[in-house]
Amino acid sequence: MSKKWNQERKNEEYYKKAKKQNYHSRASFKLLQLNRKFKIIKEGNSVVDLGAAPGGWSQVALEAVGTNGLVVAVDINRMKSFSEENFWSIKGDFTQIETLEEIQRTLQGKSDVIISDAAPKLSGIKDLDQLRSVDLARSVLNISDQILKYKGNLIMKVFQGEGYTELLKDIKKKFHKVKTTKPPSSRKQSGEMYVVGRGFRREGR
């Protein structure tokens, strides 16, 4: 990344806010804004954060669930842990079956909420990166079938473009209510959108 990009990032409003409020990343404000609007994560919930590093969303989720909740963070990269006893970190690729099995063992049941701010490793080729983002979002949706409670909720990121409309149709088959949104802290030039699914359906209903 260029020196210019790094300088612009350091001067950016939400980057400064994250530093000032001791959040792990500026992305924390995306989940703060999304949860304030849609009230997806509640006190006492169990939350699985897929693609969690560097931990900005897990940090917000921990605040939202309180001491009676649980946050399980999953990422292919090792991430800095939190001191809370109700936080668990899993190092692994959440698209792989062995990682899914470890998530299930950690939960010892199913989660109330799945959150994902995951993005593919960017190639710099816009169309390719967008397709990879849709594939990643589909992986999150598939994991929902395995670990999300009936009437559970979902927030995940996906880039707009080819396959986006079809993905939304499939999400609507699995959730009673689906909204798409772009929080104020999301960069205007970014093609990212956030999909909010509420009321996970039982299979076949």
- The tokens describing 188, both together, are 């205007």
Ordered DSSP codes for 156-168: EEEE-STTHHHHH
149 labelled catalytic = no
Q: What is the DSSP string of 175-201?
A: EEEEEEE--TTS-TT--EEEEEEEEEP
Contacts 24+ apart (CB under 8 A), 126-129: 126/161, 127/161, 127/162, 129/159
Helices (H) and strands (E) in the chain, counts: 7, 7
Q: Give rounded-to-5 percent helix, strand, coil for the chain.
A: 40, 25, 35
| Closest-CA residue to 57 (of 9, 118, 120, 1) | 118
Catalytic residue among 20, 157, 169, 179: 157
Q: Show which residues are catalytic.
A: 157
